């Protein structure tokens, strides 16, 4: 089994998927625009061969270079788990006759309007939505839907360049911020709790799924620097309150014809219990959520992904033992982190439940919180009881504080 992975070294989770596929028994080949020596060690050690290309975004050039790669075999599978490279992966797949999503199959996972149109046809509840390419169209659709609305890029990922707009004055101020975005989706704002539905699927059948709860929903966290966002992978995914979201997740996978690989879906649950689709990517969630899945069940989802896509098997025994919370921290001030308060208190009270301390050290430059959810690091914690998990996460959010100065 020869597996080609596009961009095996970036983003940060990709070396783990590369390692997982190699450990599952595949020969893994990589194509990327990093020099081989610049790849993370985990990726470099897991690859059978690597081809550096000048740019992953010159698709025709990449296709030519891969087809002329003398050392490489005829690839059995072609995968890209980074959203911007998915169309390229589909084109390489078709050139090699490898199974998986075609270009036409991939478009609904990249184009949010095509995605929702396909799900509308399947009878799945989506927000009211329109595609807009002009300022005038944004105004027309905003008035047709009624405020509040959401504006987001058609081909975006995560909550970048996504805005809640409550009235005409806010729309007037937001539109200039989207001048660099060629197409936007104008959507109904759905008020409710936001969850994920993450899957590993084999030939159209879901072999494993995970549900995570955003506290607060990402759009709120993205617009308020003082918030310490939380993501909680839930232990009891079969609870009654989540039944509608689980059914929707299965229906979405079927409607979009997804076959084998990993997906990340987001959905809403309103106060009256109605569930509403958000969006889906044919890729893993970011911000170390796959590691959450591992800590929740004490399995290796990276390896099971490799086994699933390469050999059509999911062999891990899934025993959901824990809720797992990741709490992302943002330093107050700008420049270098010079002080951290509350860490010792958290360690004394909850230390036995911390599974990963990823906080930036004192002396490090703080990151741009608008560009990365991971921000200035995180604590990942787990506990069998959800209310205890929430209490731990809230303590970290409130008591642990980082401070920066020039």
**Rounded distance, CA 264 to CA 247, Å?**
15
Yes or no: say if 366 and 360 are a contact pair by the CB < 8 Å rule: yes
Domain that holds residue 332: 323-406
Residue 131 CB partners (closer than 8 Å, separation 6+): 113, 154, 183, 184, 185, 186
Residue 265: pLDDT above 90? yes
User: Whose structure tokens read 């509350």?
Assistant: 342
Nearest of 240, 251, 253 to residue 199 by alpha carbon: 253
* Whether residue 205 sits in one domain with residue 183: no
pTM for this predicted structure: 0.93
Residue 331 belongs to some domain of the structure:
yes
Segment 116-140 mean pLDDT: 95
The reported pLDDT for the residue numbered 239 is: 94
Identify the CATH number of the domain in which residue 133 sits.
Answer: 3.30.1490.20
**Rounded distance, CA 382 to CA 388, Å?**
9
Residue where a domain terminates, one of 267, 299, 321: 321
The reported pLDDT for the residue numbered 372 is: 87
Residue 74 belongs to some domain of the structure:
yes
Residue 384 belongs to some domain of the structure:
yes
CB atoms closer than 10 angstroms to residue 180: 7
Residue 194: pLDDT above 90? yes
Mean pLDDT of the chain: 96
The total domain count for the chain is 4
* Whether residue 299 sits in one domain with residue 183: no
Segment 181-210 mean pLDDT: 96
Cα 378–chain centre separation: 17
Residue 107 belongs to some domain of the structure:
no
Q: Does residue 99 have a cis bond before it (omega within 30 degrees)?
A: no
* Whether residue 346 sits in one domain with residue 400: yes
Segment 331-358 mean pLDDT: 97
Structure tokens that stand for 72 in this block: 């490489």
Nearest of 156, 22, 23, 10 to residue 80 by alpha carbon: 10
The per-residue pLDDT for range 44-96, each reduced to its tens digit, is 999 999 999 999 999 999 999 999 999 999 999 999 999 999 999 999 999 99
Torsion region of 362: left, alpha or beta (phi above 0 gives left; psi -120 to 50 gives alpha): beta
Residue 106 belongs to some domain of the structure:
no
Q: Which of the 8 DSSP states describes residue 134?
A: S
The per-residue pLDDT for range 137-173, each reduced to its tens digit, is 999 999 999 999 999 998 766 667 889 999 999 999 9
Residue 400 belongs to some domain of the structure:
yes
CB atoms closer than 10 angstroms to residue 74: 8
């Amino acid at each position: 089994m020869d597996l080609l992975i596009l961009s095996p070294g970036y983003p940060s989770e990709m070396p783990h998927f590369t390692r997982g596929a190699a450990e599952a028994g595949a020969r893994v080949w990589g194509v990327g625009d990093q020099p081989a020596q610049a790849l993370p060690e985990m990726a470099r050690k897991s690859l059978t061969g690597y081809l550096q290309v000048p740019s992953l975004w010159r698709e025709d050039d990449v296709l030519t270079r891969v087809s002329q790669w003398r050392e490489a075999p005829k690839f059995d599978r072609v995968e890209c788990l980074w959203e911007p490279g998915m169309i390229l992966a589909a084109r390489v797949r078709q050139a090699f006759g490898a199974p998986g999503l075609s270009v036409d199959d991939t478009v609904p996972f990249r184009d949010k309007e095509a995605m929702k149109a396909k799900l509308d046809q399947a009878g799945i509840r989506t927000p009211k939505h329109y595609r807009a390419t002009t300022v005038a169209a944004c105004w027309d659709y905003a008035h047709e839907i009624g405020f509040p609305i959401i504006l987001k890029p058609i081909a975006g990922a995560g909550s970048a360049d996504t805005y809640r707009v409550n009235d005409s004055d806010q729309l007037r101020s937001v539109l200039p911020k989207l001048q660099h975005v060629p197409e936007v989706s104008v959507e109904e704002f759905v008020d409710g709790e936001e969850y994920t539905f993450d899957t590993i699927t084999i030939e159209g059948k879901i072999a494993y799924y995970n549900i995570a709860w955003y506290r607060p929903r990402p759009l709120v966290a993205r617009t308020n620097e003082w918030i310490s966002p939380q993501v909680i992978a839930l232990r009891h995914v079969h609870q009654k309150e989540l039944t509608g979201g689980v059914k929707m997740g299965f229906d979405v996978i079927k409607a979009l014809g997804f076959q084998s690989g990993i997906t990340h879906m987001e959905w809403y649950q309103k106060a009256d219990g109605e569930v509403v689709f958000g969006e889906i990517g044919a890729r893993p969630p970011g911000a170390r959520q796959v590691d959450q899945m591992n800590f929740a069940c004490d399995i290796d989802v990276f390896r099971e992904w490799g086994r699933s896509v390469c050999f059509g098997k999911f062999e891990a025994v899934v025993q959901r033992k824990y809720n797992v919370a990741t709490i992302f921290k943002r330093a107050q001030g700008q420049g270098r982190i010079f002080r951290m308060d509350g860490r010792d208190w958290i360690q004394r009270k909850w230390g036995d439940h911390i599974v990963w301390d990823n906080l930036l050290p004192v002396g490090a430059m703080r990151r741009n919180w608008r560009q990365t959810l991971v921000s200035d690091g995180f604590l990942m914690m787990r506990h069998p009881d959800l209310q205890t998990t929430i209490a731990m996460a809230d303590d970290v959010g409130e008591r642990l504080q980082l401070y920066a100065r020039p």
